[in-house]
Copies of this chain bind each other. A is one copy, B any other.
Amino acid sequence: MGGDFAPANIISGGINALKESNNRFQIIFVGKEESILEIINKLPHENLDYQIVNASEVIEMQDSPTAALKQKKDSSITVGLQLVKDKKADAFISAGNTGAVMSASTIILGRIEGVSRPTIGTFFPTEKGKCLLLDAGANVDSKPQHLLEFAMMGSIFTSYILGYQNPTVGLLNIGEESSKGNEIALETYKLLKESSLNFIGNIEGRDILKGKANIVVCDGFVGNILLKFAESILSLMKFKFKNYASQSFFKKLWVGLIYGTLKSVLKDIDYQEHGGVPLLGVNGVTIIGHGGSTPKAIKNMIFRAEEMVQKDINSHIQSKMKNLK
């Protein structure tokens, strides 16, 4: 039920995933049964392996996570995560209220042994494929030890899921030298340097899109601001082009002509095109998607979740985290 186009996009994505995978897994649609049935009945859904579990309440995108989780005990988020907790589902996927999904996952599923704080990452397109930046907003006032854990979890995720060999880790900072940065960054530098990670040192804001590191580590305060800033860039560009097009009939025609090229060239800069990101460090698989997730994004999130379950990412995290302590 979560997301700007729920439940329609969520269900379409799920149905498509079942079709494309030939029922390789079962999908449990969690939410208001009536609304779900209404959408499913409009779609070709014969011989597909799904079930519906009713949840009477909906946590809205603008709800305060803490308050919503207290007041709406029968929300699709809570009910869905409880299915994972009870081993009735292997993974939970949502395009809903990010804060609520993170909190509920941590509370209901619990943390993996050795993890101080679960973390959510985000993908940035770069000149050398995508990089994973974490933390993207789950944690503020992170301690150096937390940042080390984020880097470790990100490293495991990118090697097993994205197939990066010995992925590089960069510490987001305001200068390259080890003497640069705020207190937390200075201490984190030392921890990362001593760790078994493939730490390449400090990287600056300009290095992210260049693809200097596979994993970019930072506190969630910085990461969240950067993520939201990045998401807003295409809006400013669209605004500029709209202004330009409004100047004359010819310019309008011209912008119409080049718009398709712009869109295809800049496609992977558009965050809406990406699938979801995992919440790493909880005892279970939770994938969180953009509120505006398309059916295609939802489908990709489902495949990502399947992969995380099959490759048993969490047991890799658990064993690495034990060694980290």
Interface residue A50 (Cβ < 8 Å from any Cβ of B): no
Neighbouring B residues of A241 by C-beta, 8 Å: 265
Q: Please, how many angstroms separate the alpha-carbon atoms of A158 and B253 in the complex?
A: 38
Q: How large is the interface on A (under 10, 10 to 19, 20 to 34, 35 or more residues)?
A: 35 or more
Q: Is A39 an interface residue (CB 8 A)?
A: no
Q: Chain B residue with minimal CB distance to A128?
A: B239
> A177 vs B220: C-alpha distance in the bound complex, in angstroms?
17
Whole-angstrom CA separation of A226 from B172 in the bound complex:
11
The A190-220 residues at the B interface (CB cut-off 8 A) are 204-210, 218-220
In the complex, the chain B residue whose C-beta lies closest to that of A231 is B206
Given contact pairs A181-B140, A226-B226, A261-B258, A269 touches B236 in the complex (Cβ within 8 A): yes
Q: How far is the CB of A171 from chain B (nearest CB, A)?
A: 11
**Chain B hits for A269, CB < 8 A:** 236-237, 240
Q: Contact: B126 with A236, CB < 8 Å?
A: yes
- Whether B209 contacts A229 by the Cβ 8 Å rule is yes
List chain B residues, Cβ under 8 A from A230: 205, 229
Q: A220-B174, A231-B206 are in contact. Are A261 and B254 (CB under 8 A)?
A: yes
Residues of B within 8 A of A232 (CB): 205-210
Residue A68 interfacial (CB < 8 Å): no
Answer whether A228 and B204 are a contact pair too, CB < 8 Å, given A209-B235, A235-B210: yes
- Complexed CA–CA distance, A181 and B236 (Å): 25
Bound form: Cα–Cα A189–B202 in Å? 30
Q: Count the copies.
A: 2
Chain B CB within 10 A, most for which of A137, A140, A231: A140
- Which single member of B141, B206, B240, B254 contacts A182 (CB below 8 Å)? B141
Collect the chain B residues with CB atoms within 8 Å of residue A64's CB: 177
Closest Cβ of chain B to A147, distance in Å, is: 13
Please name all residues of chain B whose beta carbon is closer than 8 Å to the beta carbon of A219 when the two chains form the complex. Answer: 182
Most buried by B among A221, A230, A261: A221
Partner of A265, one of B172, B183, B222, B244: B244
Per the 8 Å Cβ criterion, residues 54-87 of A in contact with B are: 64
CB distance from A4 to the nearest CB of B (A): 15
Closest residue to A222 on the B side, CB-wise?
A: B222
The 5 A-B pairs with the shortest beta carbon distances in the complex, nearest first, are A205-B228, A205-B229, A205-B225, A206-B232, A140-B182
Beyond the given pairs A204-B224, A209-B235, 14 more chain A to chain B contacts, judged by CB atoms under 8 angstroms and listed by A's residue number, are: A127-B236, A137-B174, A141-B182, A174-B225, A182-B221, A185-B221, A204-B228, A205-B224, A206-B235, A218-B225, A241-B265, A244-B261, A254-B261, A255-B261
A–B Cβ pairs within 8 angstroms, 22 of them? A125-B236, A127-B236, A140-B174, A140-B181, A172-B225, A174-B220, A205-B225, A205-B227, A205-B230, A205-B231, A206-B228, A206-B232, A208-B232, A209-B229, A210-B236, A221-B222, A222-B225, A226-B229, A229-B229, A240-B266, A241-B265, A254-B261
